């Protein structure tokens, strides 16, 4: 499947198999070992933001769960610096010195593309925010909401299956939508001066063409995130850099460019 974007480069989408996921993580682990301080810096940022959300909104569970979901949905955007670290190491062939500051402002090289992507993601997340509040309003008395700990205890109670089905079912749909438009889009925006719509369309087509592999990839990301949350966010210090850098190599394996 080929797409011609404004730079007159033909975007070629390749098929990848489940075995590629192991390769992505192997390359990500290699990059993490090469620049541990830079990569773990981003992991710490993820964890600090997660702790801030939980601590600040501890008494407002309907808000904290929504914001945590927003945080997870926006993860690919926050991982732009990690894509840039791997991109720099590719350019240096592992022999040059990676610049952390450059990765922090990598989005400036395609400001219009990242800005439009941010706007589109905001619309999706805002829609999910409103929907999640509606679901809470339907299933809970908003004047007597339990604490966050109490809500989580209730959430694992199968007697609350209607709430679980409505909340996590809608969350799954939104999350997969964001995954589909983001899986390749943000690495592509960092790598090329393309517009956000072209990058997002390419991402959806790449996910569709590799639906089995990308569904497994999404499951792996969710599983690692859940394990990270179960460790009181601490494991995310390592998991998030690995996922971010592996995503860069997923992009590299699925997308190539030809002039035509």
Query: Domain residues of the chain, as ranges?
Result: 2-16+36-259
In this predicted structure, the answer to whether residue 1 has a pLDDT above a threshold of 50 is no
Give the residue with greater pLDDT, 238 vs 229: 238
In this predicted structure, the answer to whether residue 217 has a pLDDT above a threshold of 70 is yes
pLDDT at 199: 95
Instruction: Confirm if 31 and 39 have CB atoms less than 8 A apart.
Output: yes
pLDDT at 204: 96
| Coil, helix or strand at residue 3 | strand
Instruction: Among 93-97, 147-151, 238-242, name the one with the lowest average pLDDT.
Output: 147-151
Q: Which residues of 80-225 form beta strands (DSSP E)?
A: none
In this predicted structure, the answer to whether residue 178 has a pLDDT above a threshold of 70 is yes
Q: ∠143-145-146 over CA atoms, to 5°?
A: 145
In this predicted structure, the answer to whether residue 60 has a pLDDT above a threshold of 50 is yes
Taking the C-alpha atoms of residue 98 and residue 35, their distance in angstroms, rounded to an integer, is 8
DSSP annotation of 66: H
pLDDT at 2: 44
Taking the C-alpha atoms of residue 151 and residue 170, their distance in angstroms, rounded to an integer, is 18
Q: What is the pTM of this model?
A: 0.83
Buried b (16+ CB within 10 A) or exposed e, 236-251: bbbbbbbbbbbbbbbb
Q: Is 12 left (phi over 0), alpha (psi -120 to 50) or beta?
A: beta
pLDDT at 248: 96
Q: Which residue has the tokens 């087509």?
A: 205
Q: Structure tokens of 113?
A: 């593309």
Give the residue with greater pLDDT, 2 vs 247: 247
Taking the C-alpha atoms of residue 159 and residue 146, their distance in angstroms, rounded to an integer, is 16
pLDDT at 76: 73
Instruction: Among 117-126, 137-146, 248-257, name the one with the lowest average pLDDT.
Output: 137-146
In this predicted structure, the answer to whether residue 246 has a pLDDT above a threshold of 50 is yes
pLDDT at 88: 92
In this predicted structure, the answer to whether residue 43 has a pLDDT above a threshold of 50 is yes
In this predicted structure, the answer to whether residue 4 has a pLDDT above a threshold of 50 is no
In this predicted structure, the answer to whether residue 220 has a pLDDT above a threshold of 90 is yes
Q: Output the average pLDDT for the chain.
A: 83
User: What's the pLDDT band for 61 if we cut at 50, 70, 90?
Assistant: low
In this predicted structure, the answer to whether residue 213 has a pLDDT above a threshold of 60 is yes
């Amino acid at each position: 499947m080929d797409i011609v974007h404004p730079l007159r480069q033909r975007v070629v989408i390749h098929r990848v198999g489940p075995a590629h996921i192991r390769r992505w993580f192997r390359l990500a682990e290699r990059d993490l070992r090469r620049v541990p301080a830079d990569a773990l810096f981003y992991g710490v940022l993820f964890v600090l933001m997660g702790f801030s959300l939980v601590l600040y909104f501890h008494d407002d569970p309907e808000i904290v769960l929504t914001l945590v979901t927003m945080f997870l949905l926006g993860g690919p955007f926050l991982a732009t610096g990690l894509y840039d670290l791997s991109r720099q190491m590719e350019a240096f062939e592992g022999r040059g010195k990676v610049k952390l500051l450059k990765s922090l402002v990598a989005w400036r090289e395609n400001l219009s593309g990242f800005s439009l992507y941010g706007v589109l993601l905001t619309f999706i997340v805002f829609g999910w925010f409103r929907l999640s509040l509606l679901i809470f309003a339907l299933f809970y008395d908003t004047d007597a909401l339990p604490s966050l700990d109490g809500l989580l205890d209730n959430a694992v109670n199968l007697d609350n299956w209607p709430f679980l089905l409505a909340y996590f079912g809608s969350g799954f749909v939104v999350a997969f939508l964001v995954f589909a438009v983001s899986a390749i889009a943000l690495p592509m925006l960092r790598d090329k001066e393309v517009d956000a719509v072209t990058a997002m369309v390419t991402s959806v087509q790449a996910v569709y063409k590799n639906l089995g592999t990308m569904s497994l990839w999404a499951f792996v990301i969710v599983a690692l995130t859940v394990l990270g949350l179960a460790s009181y966010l601490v494991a995310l210090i390592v998991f998030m850099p690995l996922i971010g850098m592996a995503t860069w190599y997923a992009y590299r394996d699925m997308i190539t460019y030809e002039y035509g």
